[in-house]
Amino acid sequence: MSLAGKVALVTGASRGIGQAIALELASQGATVIGTATSDSGAEAITAYLKEAGATGAGLRLNVTEEGACEGIIAAIEKDYGPVAILVNNAGITRDNLLMRMKDDEWDAIMATNLKPVYQLSKAVMRGMMKARWGRIINIASVVGATGNAGQTNYSAAKAALFGFTKSLAKEIGSRGVTVNAVAPGFIDTDMTKALPEEQKAKLVEAIALGRLGLPKDIADAVGFLASDRAAYITGNTLHVNGGMFMN
């Protein structure tokens, strides 16, 4: 229970990777706040946390709403205390060939996958600096490193997280705060269920371990980076992709 007494915030925690991360951090004893874009999603988070015997709750957060990111950090600090572990997981895809891409598809990705990472990280900084302890873990993607046709917007935003992670790690390292990224490969979630079977089969062929990843594979990596066992790791990206891409 190495994270006992610490408050963790996981964005996009209603299902998939985010849910697995929330449960992993809870299993290490953290008080977990998970966010979802809808009230029903937030209630579902509260329910699964309760079922797991964890302390914490689901909250509604639409990261693209003006002031929402700052607001939720203030609310969490008031009710639970300062956020010690921030997992920036919320993300969407708006795939299209560049030649067909619309401004709103590009903008939606930047507004949801990139800007909130800046806003939330900034908002938790004060608490982490004062505590001389903090973990910021950004969920990137293998496509940020490899590229992927049809995902110029998504891969650009995910690659941006690598640079953000390194710069912030340098900025804040002297205060005991580590900043890392986890880059999932192809994980079996609702997001990848949308892919055609044929494409999925081809993808699996390229994975050394011969299977899609599970949300738990990612959660375990995040759980490690959040723990004191990873105290000397910062500014890094942990690739969790079954060997489909080797850095």
Partner 1 sequence: MENIEQRVKKIVAEQLGVPETDVKIESSFVNDLGADSLDTVELVMALEEEFECEIPDEEAEKITTVQQAVDYVSANLSK
Q: Which residues are catalytic?
A: 154
What's the closest the beta carbon of residue 176 comes to partner 1, in angstroms?
Answer: 12
Contact with partner 1 (CB under 8 A): which of 174, 196, 197, 205? 174
User: Distance between CA 176 and CA 179 in Å, rounded?
Assistant: 10
Closest CA to 112 of 65, 152, 42: 65
Q: Which is nearer to partner 1, 102 or 130 (CB)?
A: 130
Question: Considering beta carbons, is residue 125 or 221 the nearer one to partner 1?
Answer: 125
Residue 173: which region, alpha, beta or left (left: phi > 0; alpha: psi -120 to 50)?
Answer: alpha
Dist CA 53 CA 189 (whole Å): 24
Residue 154 and residue 183: Cα distance in Å, rounded?
13
Q: Checking phi first, is residue 65 left (phi over 0); if not, alpha (psi -120 to 50) or beta?
A: beta
Residues 119-148 that bind partner 1 (CB under 8 A): 126, 129-130
Q: Which value, to the nearest 10 degrees, does the dihedral of the CA atoms of residues 117, 134, 48, 40 take? A: -30
* Contact with partner 1 (CB under 8 A) among 86, 128, 172, 182: 172
17-76 positions binding partner 1, by CB under 8 A = none
Q: What is the dihedral of CA 68, 70, 74, 75, to 10 degrees?
A: 10
Applying CB under 8 A, which part among 17-25, 83-91, 148-156, 168-176 lies near partner 1?
Answer: 168-176
Instruction: Supply the minimum distance, in Å, between the C-beta of residue 174 and partner 1.
Output: 7
Name which of 174 and 247 has its Cβ closer to partner 1.
Answer: 174
Report, in Å, the least distance between residue 130 CB and partner 1. Answer: 7
Give the residue with the Cβ less far from partner 1, 102 or 170: 170
DSSP string, 12-71: S-SSHHHHHHHHHHHHTT-EEEEEESSHHHHHHHHHHHHHTT--EEEEE--TTSTTHHHH
User: C-beta of 126: minimal distance to partner 1 in Å?
Assistant: 6
CB of 66 to partner 1, least distance (A): 18
Please report whether residue 170 would count as binding partner 1 according to CB under 8 A: no
> Judged by CB under 8 A, how many residues of this single chain contact partner 1?
7
Binding site for partner 1 (CB under 8 A): 126, 129-130, 171-172, 174-175
